[in-house]
A and B are shown apart, each in its own frame.
Chain A
Amino acid sequence: MIWDLLIQPFADFGFMRRALLGCIAISVGATPVGVFLMLRRMSLTGDAMAHAILPGAAVGYLVSGLSLGAMTIGGLAAGMAVALLAGLVTRVTPVREDASLAAFYLISLAIGVLIVSTRGSNVDLMHVLFGTVLALNDAALFLLCTIASISLLTLAAMFRPLVLECVDPQYLRSVSALSGITHLVFLMLVVLNLVGGFHALGTLMAIGIMILPATAARFWVTGIGALIALSAVIGIVSSAVGLLLSYHFSLPSGPSIVLLAGFAYALSIVFGPVGGLVTRSLSRRIGQA
């Protein structure tokens, strides 16, 4: 019975195994980046970047159809262009970074939708927006695993400056010239993981698997290492259960996976020992007694 529910779909169907592998790669690569986005109060920046990569992917699609390489390179270029332009405008004008980022990603999103809808069919738009996790080919899997590896290795190498850039950027600037580079490399990691994620989950859903596990983990553990490990686990479990739900109930898989991560977040808000609602009300009651 349990075998039928949980294992059989993966044992019987190659596309389910591929989907699972792809989602594990995304979870392992993207959730640590999500942890840092959350700790730097940049969660919504991630969302903006997810929209910003659309025109690049669309141009890649126009040039060479549903080609993995062209769409990846296009997405990377568009994402980095929006991040750098927003950073530049913030530096030379009094407008704050969130406002200029919002402006650029909205422009970018509009251009993307325009390109896709004038040249492609609605099906193509749905593919880019919602992904095709059940149709990952070898090349796509290879890309997802490569991105996860690059992402983890880069995070490991720049861990110290990145933590310092989060905790005390003023101090990092006073002792080292790495501050600007650290920020840039981190933004590149965000864009890289989003581009990887959109092949499987779509541009709209890729950010979900990046941010939701991190925000859920925050309610259970406090150390940075523990946060990263737990959010990766939450990402993987949400992916597996989301895929099973979508298999048994014929639901679209991308939204199922992200909703599962959202469910984990909701549970964490209520039951998490670090600032969760139950713990809070309990400690208040003990405080009164």
Chain B
Amino acid sequence: MGGLAFEQLTLGYGAAPAVQRLDCEIATGSLTAVVGPNGAGKSTLLKAAAGVLRPLAGRVRRASSGPDQIAYLPQQSDLDRSFPISVTDVVGMGLWREIGPFGWLSPRQKSRIKDAISAVGLDGFETRHVARLSGGQMQRVLFARLLLQDAPLILLDEPFTAIDMPTLADLLEIIRRWNSEERTVLVVLHDIDIVRAHFPETLLLARELVSHGPTERVLTAENQFRARQMCEACAGPPHVCGRSAA
């Protein structure tokens, strides 16, 4: 229900393509890490998958269409932490597609919000303002909101940056739960050890597809070296970017 396919996908901002002619299929219910060197186009790819960025060429095909079928957590969340809003209210936003701009919260929905907060280990923080949370706690809040969005396709961009170890373990547990519920999960990561330990599938990207498949087959030393070379070859202005490296 939450499958995803990229067809001859070219993405970019302005003239310089950040991702070129990507052909790849993400199976429904798979748990995939997106890895690659800096500037490989990982975040760009996730934006296109979320429908935030329009492709320059090619297309993104989703088994389930509609923006409410996707839960997307961008890398740099725009969330204004100085705004006087409580943990409960931020997590409750995850119910937007059920309640919309005007709907009341039913008692059942209120208890679901409470359950989501407790699922990310923030019991007792319900009324606390987000301004008074640590970075790790804030990330837990955002995961609780993702839980309530209840989407078949979940896209996370570097969700583990600057968080403590206990939070990392808890959030990985939630991702495993999504995987067991047959949701399709695509996560951009830079920590290769986490990928090897917890992600069965990997997509290695260096502006073009380097390799995609089971993690141990993708993350070979040879593949990673090739990805770095391809990115360095592409680091200059767009006209330098030859396809010879591929």
Query: Which A residues are within 8 Å of any B CB, using their own CB?
Result: 39, 157-158, 160-161, 163-164, 166-171, 173-176, 178, 222-224, 227
Contact = CB atoms under 8 A, between A and B. Distances in A.
Name the interface size band of chain B: 20 to 34
Nearest to A158: B101
Nearest to A164: B93
A170 B100 CA distance: 16
Given A158-B101, A174-B52, A166 B80 contact: yes
B74 interface: yes
A167 B85 contact: yes
B102 A160 contact: yes
Contact of A167 (B50, B70, B83, B149): B83
Q: Which of A164, A171, A176, A224 has the most CB atoms of chain B within a 10 A radius of its CB?
A: A171
B101 A171 contact: no
A105 to B, nearest CB: 25
Interface in B153-180: none
A176 B149 CA distance: 13
Contacts of B221: none
B96 to A, nearest CB: 5
A97 B72 CA distance: 27
Given A168-B90, A175-B149, 18 more contacts: A157-B102, A158-B101, A160-B101, A163-B85, A166-B83, A167-B79, A167-B83, A167-B85, A167-B90, A168-B77, A168-B78, A168-B80, A168-B93, A171-B145, A174-B70, A178-B101, A222-B129, A224-B85
A157 B101 CA distance: 8
Interface string B80-105: 10011100011001001100111000
| Top 5 closest pairs, chain A to chain B, by CB | A170-B78, A168-B79, A175-B96, A222-B84, A167-B83
Contacts of A161: 101
Nearest to A222: B84
A23 B4 CA distance: 58
A227 B84 contact: yes
Nearest to A227: B84
Contact of A174 (B67, B89, B90, B100): B67
Given A167-B90, A168-B80, A175 B68 contact: yes
A150 B77 CA distance: 34
Interface string B106-132: 000000000000000000000001000
Nearest to A218: B84
Nearest to A176: B96
14 contacts: A39-B83, A167-B83, A167-B90, A168-B77, A168-B90, A168-B93, A170-B74, A171-B79, A171-B93, A171-B145, A174-B52, A176-B96, A222-B129, A224-B84
Contacts of B78: 168-171
Contacts of B145: 171
Contacts of B97: 175
Given A170-B74, A170-B78, A176 B84 contact: no
Given A160-B101, A169-B78, A175-B96, A223 B84 contact: yes
